[in-house]
Structure 1
Amino acid sequence: MKQLFRDVDGGPLCPEGSVACIGAFDGLHLGHRALVGHATERARALGLPLATLSFEPLPREFFAPDAPPPRLMLPRARAEGLFALGADLVGLLRFNRAFAAMSPDGFAQRVLARRLRAREVWVGPGFRYGNRRAGDLGTLQAAGERLGFSAGEIAPVMLDGGRVSSTRIRAALVAGDFTTAARLLGHAYAIGGRVVRGRQLGRTLGFPTANLRFRGKVPALQGIYATRVHGVGDAPWPSVSSFGTRPTVDGIEPLLEAHLFDFDGDLYGRRIEVEFVARLRDEEKYPDLPTLVAQMDRDAAQAREILMHTSQRATA
């Protein structure tokens, strides 16, 4: 049975023991998949559940609330992805002031030993933890000797002469290089969520959209894109999407708006996934709605042309 938990303290979640792995897991790229895959193999070999530990908000978001790093995925998608990779328990631990002040030994004792009864703990290269990032692999191994678990790290996953990282993926997305982003991720970049009601302005302009909120997080990309929407029909649905704050209509919150070509149906409340295929242009502010509509017509035509000549993604 899959279990999601948020709290540091509480009764043991794995009374018979567990194998744990720890990481930010933003994007679940090839490096993350290697870490979770290795931990999954160890858990199955020992006959123990696999617990993956991450944090929400991410530490860099907590420490830089006025300039948070762009996020590749939302918390729900991260948890669902970790479960799909083999996790039996996913911890999205509440990263708050008390958690940030926790010493490395406190984390090892309260979370790894007491909460998870960990027997093995696996981390990625350069792992740091605890107050002021004082803990590293050596600290973790020393704690494990006292508390009854072993700790190890996996080798870095390299691609094109560099380490696979969320930072590289963000840079590729900003540049509109979805081919490189997909190679680093192991699949095409996409954002999933439940369709919400917007202002329905697009419908009045002849461009009805399926809208996804990014839940107060800073997205890793912004602009107008050729996209495909998954979860609507038997095959991915060609579309053109805007991801931004909609400056022409004085929007504030980042919103992903996907216009599905030749689609007639109600998607409100449905979970969909928007796959990004190609970047068309920056988001711009136009002097009036007719000018905006004329540009939307051009965007739609360009997106249709690109999608006709771009193969669909392989299943991740």
Structure 2
Amino acid sequence: MSKLFRDVEGRSPCPQGSVVCIGAFDGLHPGHRALVGHVLARARARGLAAVALSFEPLPREFFGGKQAPPRLLLPRAKFEGLRALGMDAVGLLRFNAAMAAMGAEEFVQRVLVQRLSAREVWVGPDFRFGHGRRGDLALLEQMGEALGFQAGAIAPVQSGGERVSSTVLRQRLADGDLEGVARVLGRRYAISGKVVRGKQLGRKLGYPTANLRLAGKRPALSGIYATWVHGIGPEPRASVSSLGTRPTVQGVEPLLEAHVFDFDGDLYGRRIEVEFVAKLRDEEKFDDLPALVRQMDLDAAQARRVLRHDMEKRGALA
């Protein structure tokens, strides 16, 4: 069971020493997985704890506010993903004013050496850290020589001749290129979370939905999608989902709403995962609710066709 820690101070989760990787890990794409896999192998070879170190909110969110890049992965999903990859401890350090003001050298001393007893520290390409982004691999190597740890960086991961990055994935999601995202990730893009109560307008319109809030994060995609919902039973359930601000009913907060076909159970409080198969259309504002329902009927029919074809294709490949 992976240990989760949020603070700079506190009891070390790995007093016998650790191999640490540092990054945003937004999306846990192949580049991130290569870094994590390298650290896990090094830790197992040395009999040390494997630690993934990140921040919440991400520094770009803290400094950028509403202009920050959209998120690919919500905090809990990031922790669960790193845990599933085998990390013994995961740090999602609170990025606040104090953290933003912390110099790179202080970060090395307080977090890597004192908190984590680091013996090795590994980062991705172009990694920067500390106040003013003044810390880099060269500083890690220099301080490591004096403080007893080794530092290094792994090479970028390529896909189709292009460097894999969260920026590339965000752009493809914004463009509706779900197949391109799946090729890079090795799996379809999905969002997971706990089902919360909404205004229950969908039920009144004949389309009850399982609603997932996005923890105040800006999603990397929006619109209407054919989706599979995981977590209801042993098999994924066909669904049509809306991700956005619901302009027809004056919504404000981005919300993921999944209508599961041929299902009438209670999902409140259950954790589900919504897997995005194909984009059907962009969000739009309708003149009235009857016009919205007519479009929802069309969306549902199209989603069923897409998912039926997807199931047939998967069956042919099995």
Q: What TM-score results when the alignment is normalised by the length of structure 2?
A: 0.97
Mapped partners of 2:86, 2:233: distance in 1: 27
Counterpart residue type for residue 169 of structure 1: L
Counterpart residue type for residue 15 of structure 1: P
Q: Is the Cα contact below 8 Å between 1:5 and 1:92 reproduced in 2?
A: yes
Aligned to 2:279: 279
Counterpart residue type for residue 286 of structure 2: Y
Aligned to 2:82: 82
Mapped partners of 1:139, 1:313: distance in 2: 49
Go from structure 1 to structure 2 and tell me whether the alpha carbon gap of 1:270 and 1:313 turns closer, same or farther (over 3 Å shift).
Answer: farther
- Secondary structure of 2:284's match? coil
Aligned to 1:296: 296
Aligned to 1:234: 234
- Secondary structure of 1:180's match? helix
Identity among equivalent pairs (%): 68
Aligned to 2:67: 67
User: RMSD between aligned alpha carbons?
Assistant: 1.2
| Higher alpha-carbon deviation: 184-193 or 74-83 | 184-193
- Secondary structure of 2:219's match? coil
Mapped partners of 2:66, 2:266: distance in 1: 37
Structure 2, unpaired ranges of 5+:
none
Q: Is the Cα contact below 8 Å between 2:3 and 2:13 reproduced in 1?
A: no
Aligned to 2:136: 136
Aligned to 1:37: 37
Q: Is the Cα contact below 8 Å between 2:21 and 2:53 reproduced in 1?
A: yes
Shift of residue 103, structure 1, vs aligned partner:
1.2
5 Å-filtered alignment, 1:8-157, equals: 8-157=8-157
Mapped partners of 1:46, 1:180: distance in 2: 38
Q: Is the Cα contact below 8 Å between 1:192 and 1:273 reproduced in 2?
A: yes
Shift of residue 174, structure 1, vs aligned partner:
1.0
Q: Is the Cα contact below 8 Å between 1:188 and 1:313 reproduced in 2?
A: no
| Deviation readout 1:31-50 (Å, 9 max, x if unpaired) | 00000000000000011111
Mapped partners of 1:114, 1:243: distance in 2: 43
5 Å-filtered alignment, 1:140-219, equals: 140-219=140-219
Counterpart residue type for residue 148 of structure 1: G
Q: Is the Cα contact below 8 Å between 2:230 and 2:237 reproduced in 1?
A: yes
- Does residue 224 (structure 1) correspond to residue 229 (structure 2)? The answer is no
- Does residue 254 (structure 1) correspond to residue 254 (structure 2)? The answer is yes
Mapped partners of 2:18, 2:12: distance in 1: 10
Q: Choose between structure 1 and 2: higher helix proportion.
A: 2
Q: Is the Cα contact below 8 Å between 1:187 and 1:313 reproduced in 2?
A: no
Alignment coverage as a number of residue pairs: 314
Q: Is the Cα contact below 8 Å between 1:21 and 1:39 reproduced in 2?
A: yes
- Secondary structure of 1:69's match? coil
Shift of residue 75, structure 1, vs aligned partner:
0.3
Q: Is the Cα contact below 8 Å between 2:100 and 2:130 reproduced in 1?
A: yes
Counterpart residue type for residue 5 of structure 1: F
Shift of residue 313, structure 1, vs aligned partner:
7.6
Q: Is the Cα contact below 8 Å between 1:228 and 1:238 reproduced in 2?
A: yes
Shift of residue 215, structure 1, vs aligned partner:
1.1
Mapped partners of 1:307, 1:97: distance in 2: 46
Structure 1 runs (4+) deviating above 2 angstroms are: 10-13, 311-314
Shift of residue 104, structure 1, vs aligned partner:
1.1
| Deviation readout 1:168-200 (Å, 9 max, x if unpaired) | 111111111111111222211000001001000
Q: Is the Cα contact below 8 Å between 1:196 and 1:213 reproduced in 2?
A: yes
Counterpart residue type for residue 119 of structure 1: R
Shift of residue 151, structure 1, vs aligned partner:
0.4
Mapped partners of 1:7, 1:79: distance in 2: 15
Counterpart residue type for residue 195 of structure 1: V
Mapped partners of 1:186, 1:128: distance in 2: 27
Counterpart residue type for residue 274 of structure 2: V
Mapped partners of 2:147, 2:186: distance in 1: 36
| Deviation readout 1:50-107 (Å, 9 max, x if unpaired) | 1100000001101111312100111000000000001111000111111111111111
Go from structure 1 to structure 2 and tell me whether the alpha carbon gap of 1:169 and 1:80 turns closer, same or farther (over 3 Å shift).
Answer: same
Q: What TM-score results when the alignment is normalised by the length of structure 1?
A: 0.97
Counterpart residue type for residue 215 of structure 1: A
Shift of residue 310, structure 1, vs aligned partner:
1.5
